[in-house]
């Protein structure tokens, strides 16, 4: 498994999809900067990074993680590299688990990137209030909530990886999933709703912490992990998946000829 993960990271060097993640993180932060500037009075870095977190879980991270994860898995179908991998031998399920682990590591790296960008933009926009405790808190909360978002969307990645080119539908679902987190957070449903369960677990200050329950939040994320494991276990064999995609390709070719 370790060698499989290393191989996946080597493959990433040839993938430009990672830049979409960087752009998404930057847009989330720049939007938070303008939102913070619209507030009356002096804006501190703490206020700003809290807005970054809000944009990350509601707009950027869910769709970005599913987009990158779905794309990386789908490339195995489109490039037909699975045929080579399965003769090594590497099972389809083992390949999916390896991809999931890589995506999880990437979500942590994107969280760190979001933290770094938040500091740079805070300096550019003149947001004060820097201190070591605030910076450590920001790094922890931004990175942890990003990782919890990854756990929340794992079932989407696992389900839509079962068919070639179906990850686009998963991206749309993930975006809707994230936006709905705004309404869940506003109605004290943070712990129940997987996307927002990390807010209570990290003691995010822009919600009513008295209404949070860590046990429910952890249970919500554990349910997502269980669903993901079930979907991977029930995933169809490679031959069945490729047979279905080949039939679709033949149909498209027949339509073009007609």
Q: How far apart are CA 184 and CA 203, in angstroms?
A: 16
Q: Are 65 and 147 in contact (CB under 8 A)?
A: no
Q: Mean pLDDT over residues 207-218, rounded?
A: 86
Per-residue b/e over 103-126, b at no fewer than 16 CB within 10 Å?
bbebbebbbebbbebbbebbeebe
Q: What is the pLDDT of residues 7-17, one digit of tens each?
A: 788 888 778 88
Residue 87: which residues within 8 A CB-CB, separation 6 or more? none
- pTM equals 0.87
- What count of other Cβ atoms lies within 10 Å of the Cβ of residue 219? 13
- Which sequence spans correspond to the domains of the chain? 2-235
Q: What is the pLDDT of residues 40-99, one digit of tens each?
A: 778 899 999 999 999 999 999 999 999 999 998 888 777 766 555 555 556 778 888 889
């Amino acid at each position: 498994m370790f060698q499989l993960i290393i191989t996946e990271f080597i493959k990433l060097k040839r993938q430009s999809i990672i830049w979409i993640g960087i752009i998404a993180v930057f847009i989330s932060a720049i939007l938070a900067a303008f939102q913070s500037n619209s507030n009356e009075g002096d804006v501190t870095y703490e206020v700003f990074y809290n807005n970054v977190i809000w944009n990350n879980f509601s707009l950027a991270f869910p769709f970005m993680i599913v987009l990158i994860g779905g794309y990386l898995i789908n490339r195995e179908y489109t490039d037909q590299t699975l045929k080579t991998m399965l003769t090594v031998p590497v099972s389809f399920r083992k390949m999916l688990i390896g991809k999931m682990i890589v995506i999880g590591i990437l979500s942590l790296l994107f969280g760190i990137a979001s933290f770094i960008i938040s500091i740079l933009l805070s300096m550019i926009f003149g947001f004060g209030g820097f201190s070591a405790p605030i910076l450590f808190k920001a790094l922890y909360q931004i990175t942890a909530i990003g990782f919890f978002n990854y756990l929340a969307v794992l079932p989407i990645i696992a389900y839509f990886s079962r068919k070639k080119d179906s990850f686009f539908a998963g991206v749309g679902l993930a975006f809707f999933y994230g936006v709905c987190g705004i309404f869940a957070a506003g109605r004290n449903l943070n712990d129940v709703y997987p996307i927002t369960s990390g807010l209570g677990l990290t003691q995010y200050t822009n919600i009513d912490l008295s209404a949070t329950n860590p046990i429910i939040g952890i249970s919500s994320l554990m349910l997502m992990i269980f669903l993901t494991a079930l979907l991977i276990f029930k995933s169809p064999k490679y031959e069945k998946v490729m047979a279905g995609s080949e039939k679709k390709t033949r149909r498209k070719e027949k339509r073009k000829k007609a």
